[in-house]
């Protein structure tokens, strides 16, 4: 009876270790995907590439306001 219990415990422990390893890999993969998504969303160059006219108008307005204050 003890042998059956020990085998079951060892098998369960191995299954638990494997499940923990799968969970670690899934968390690492999710964290990497999140890092990539945050980097893409916060990249100002990508925003300028997507809407160049908007940023050009903003740059013109900022330059105009700065020039008015200095003169």
Residue for token pair 């415990």: 9
pLDDT (tens, 9 = 90+) of the chain, 71 residues, equals: 556 666 666 678 888 899 999 999 999 999 999 999 999 899 989 889 999 999 999 999 999 999 999 98
Contact (Cβ atoms closer than 8 angstroms) between residue 55 and residue 48: yes
- Rounded to whole angstroms, the Cα distance separating 67 from 4 reads 85
Rounded Cα distance, 47 and 45, in Å: 5
- The whole model's pTM is what? 0.55
- DSSP designation for 27: H
């Amino acid at each position: 009876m003890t042998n059956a219990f020990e085998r079951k415990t060892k098998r369960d422990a191995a299954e638990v270790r494997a499940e923990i390893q799968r969970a670690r890999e899934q968390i690492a993969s999710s964290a990497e995907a999140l890092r990539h998504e945050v980097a893409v969303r916060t990249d100002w160059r990508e925003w300028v590439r997507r809407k160049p006219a908007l940023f050009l108008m903003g740059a013109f307005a900022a330059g105009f306001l700065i020039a008015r204050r200095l003169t």
